[in-house]
Chains A and B, each alone.
Chain A
Amino acid sequence: MSRLATMLTARRGRLARDWTDWASLAYLLLGVLVMFLPVVWLFASSLKTDQALNAFPPTLLPWQPAQVAVPGHAGTLPLMRVTAGRFAGERLAELRHIGLVAQLLDPARPGPVLHIPVRDLKPVLHLHASWSNFTDLVRRFNFLGYFWNSVLITTLATLITLLINSMAAFALSKYRFAGRDAVFGLMLATLMVPPTIVLVPNFLIAARLDLVNSLWGVIWPGVATPTGVFLLRQYMLTIPDDLIEAARMDNASEWRIYWRIVLPLSTPALGVLAIFSVMWRWNDFLWPMVVLNRSSAFTLPLALFSFQGDLQTQWHYLLAMTVLTLLPVTVIFLFLQRSITQGIASAGVK
């Protein structure tokens, strides 16, 4: 604990410590609570059964009333702890209760039925993680289908984005041709046309091209990004032209120069764009909602959204599916945390 405290308050500066250090540490700790607790709460809740979710006040861990099998009785009976009276401290199975008196049995030695006032009974709780919330999603709700749609759209869209944006950036940074500046200006101008504005016409175009309810209908409209072209162009401008001239001397084709020289040298910028693209695509909501209306074509966010309409009362499935939707992003973030945050900070665009 004290090591943790030293770690949190350690500082490398020579400047004197003042109240602002403590204020900022307190602020950060409070921030961690607000930012992270809801997510922890989601994870904890997703392991509860429907029954445990309805308990109020809620508990963090999945406590669940224990059930016990009693010889001579079909199914299981709830296990109760007696808190007062002659049987205080014993654990008995409840058969039924009539009014304020419950009828119980000793589950080990089911002898005569015991009558005990309800107020002297407490249900026995045990920890029970309801993994079936997750397995049911796969068995009963085509979860894998939605997951596959999301993966497919994210992967294909990102690959196409990287390819065509880098091609455009290559031309805009390494060639002089009539109209080049106009093309660049035109691409930057598309910054002014966010997808929300062209929702209706894009639906018409998608319908015309027979892309409604097709994954390609989700993919195509967003693959040419002004952000990506700009980011890559700025990076490629820093690649020395001598390299390209040397390759031309060796009789390399223009495509080969792009593919073998410029593209590999642009890996850092491509990485940043890839991260952006994956983030945009995995989380995209409004356009997929417009262009996909058959549930078999749904992506994860769409399935989740339609679930929350249909399964209002089945939070255990809804929470499990929310967890499965954020899990891939979370795992990627855990591994690439440093490069993601630095990449975004350096690009400063979204």
Chain B
Amino acid sequence: MNLLEAPMRLAQKHLRGGRIGWVFVTPNLSVFGLFTFLPIVIDLIYAVTGGNQLFPAQRPYVGTANFQALLACRNYLDPNTCTRDLFWHGIYNTAEFVVLQVGFMVGLSLATALALNRPGRARGFFRAVFFYPVLLSPVVVALIWKWVLQRYGVLNAGLGALGLAPHDWLLNSSTAFFWSVFVSIWAHMGFYTLILLAGLQAIPRDVYEAAAMDATPPWRRFRRVTLPLLMPSLLVVLVLALIRAVQIFDEVYVLTGGGPGTSTTFLVQFIYQTGFAQQVREYGMAAAASLLLAAVLMALTVLQLRVTRPRK
């Protein structure tokens, strides 16, 4: 690292005051520029050009044709009447997924954090077990569950032992959707549990002791003391979970491949497939869909910044 010292000394000689700061931010800023800001511009160019050439100069200008194709539906409640039905299936599936996954996951994370917040010596162990799946690769998560859920897997064997009929869990639309939600909750809830647990531990003990003096019943204690004091953490968790859920792809794609049919195809999978996995790669269509997704995410991120940085 002393290799860098000589050029930095030289730079220091020529830059007065704090301007040396620019040298320190340059590497980070150039990576951002090249792989975040420039791509947004290119995204805009792709979205208004057609054809399947990769290099923007060779792509014909088509105006808003890509957006029009994506948004053309005879009946917006029925994805099958849309020109790009997969896009609309993606939108509807993603919306349903977001509501179910975020709702149940935040609820379960809260329950888990409350249970973990009680004094006891094995808490570290329990916390570790709930957190462990967060560290696993989505591909690993999906394969673990694929193995459990397969036709001759342990779940069906367990059901058989109870005298229940086996199911092809991932070959049926509604059960495949259920397991997509379940598996992604399984994989991520430990993270949100930790944040909520940290929030719970920041609540001063004497508040609870006062409640105990007054013989407040548990449910009331939760409603009137815990919940209001935990609200800031809960909001952070909610918004972070929303941002992640809208971008659901990895584990479900490996688990179900988006199927059966289109029942577990989500927006990001549409973008990936349209841009990279088809015979004819439609970069323009993929970029247009990305921009629509970006608009949603931008709104959610503004919400996040509001929630995480309360005004003084």
Contact = CB atoms under 8 A, between A and B. Distances in A.
Contact of B19 (A7, A28, A177, A223): A177
B247 A196 contact: yes
Interface stretch (A115-123, A135-143, A201-209, A265-273): A201-209
Contacts of A113: none
Interface stretch (A67-75, A80-88, A97-105, A338-346): A338-346
A175 B119 contact: no
A261 to B, nearest CB: 14
A221 interface: yes
A325 B32 contact: no
Interface of A is mostly: helix
Nearest 9 A-B pairs (CB), nearest first? A175-B21, A201-B39, A171-B24, A201-B42, A198-B39, A24-B115, A224-B31, A255-B8, A175-B18
The residue in A31, A35, A197, A279 that gathers the most chain B C-beta atoms within 10 A of its C-beta is A197
A264 interface: no
Interface in B106-165: 111-112, 114-116, 118-122, 124, 126-133, 135-140, 143-148, 152-154, 157, 160-161
Interface string B267-306: 0100110011000000100110011011001100110110
Contacts of A283: 135-138, 140
A58 B157 contact: yes
Given A10-B120, A24-B114, A196 B271 contact: yes
Nearest to A57: B157
A285 B139 CA distance: 8
Contacts of B114: 24
B287 A170 contact: no
B191 interface: yes
B151 to A, nearest CB: 9
B28 A197 contact: no
Contacts of A24: 114-115, 118
A254 B12 CA distance: 7
Contacts of A315: 147
23 contacts: A7-B121, A10-B121, A15-B208, A21-B118, A32-B126, A36-B132, A167-B28, A168-B25, A171-B20, A177-B22, A196-B247, A197-B40, A199-B290, A200-B283, A224-B36, A229-B28, A256-B5, A259-B5, A282-B137, A283-B136, A286-B249, A286-B250, A305-B139
B40 A18 contact: no
A283 B240 CA distance: 19
Interface residues of A, number: 108
B191 A344 contact: yes
B interface majority secondary structure: helix
Nearest to A167: B24
B29 A301 contact: no
Contact of A318 (B8, B56, B143, B243): B143
Contact of B290 (A200, A220, A256): A200
B310 interface: no
Interface string A310-350: 00000100110010011001100100011011001110111
B229 to A, nearest CB: 16
Contacts of A223: 31
A198 B25 contact: no
B138 A301 contact: yes
B28 A168 contact: yes
B147 A41 contact: yes
Q: How large is the interface on B (under 10, 10 to 19, 20 to 34, 35 or more residues)?
A: 35 or more
Interface string B227-262: 000000000100010011001011000100000000
A171 B276 contact: no
B157 to A, nearest CB: 4
B190 to A, nearest CB: 8
Nearest to A187: B32
B239 to A, nearest CB: 12
A38 interface: yes
A341 B131 contact: yes
Contacts of A279: 135
B105 interface: no
Contacts of B115: 24-25, 27-28, 31
Given A42-B144, A202-B39, A176 B31 contact: no
Contacts of B56: 204
A322 B144 contact: yes
Contacts of A198: 35-36, 39-40, 43, 290
Contacts of A255: 4-5, 8-9, 12
B62 interface: no
A220 B30 CA distance: 11
A31 B275 contact: no
A18 B218 contact: yes
Given A36-B129, A171-B22, A207-B54, A199 B139 contact: no
B48 interface: no
A350 B240 contact: yes
Query: Which of B21, B42, B135, B198 counts the most chain A CB atoms within 10 A?
Result: B21
Interface string A1-20: 00000011111110100111
Contact of B301 (A11, A191, A319): A191
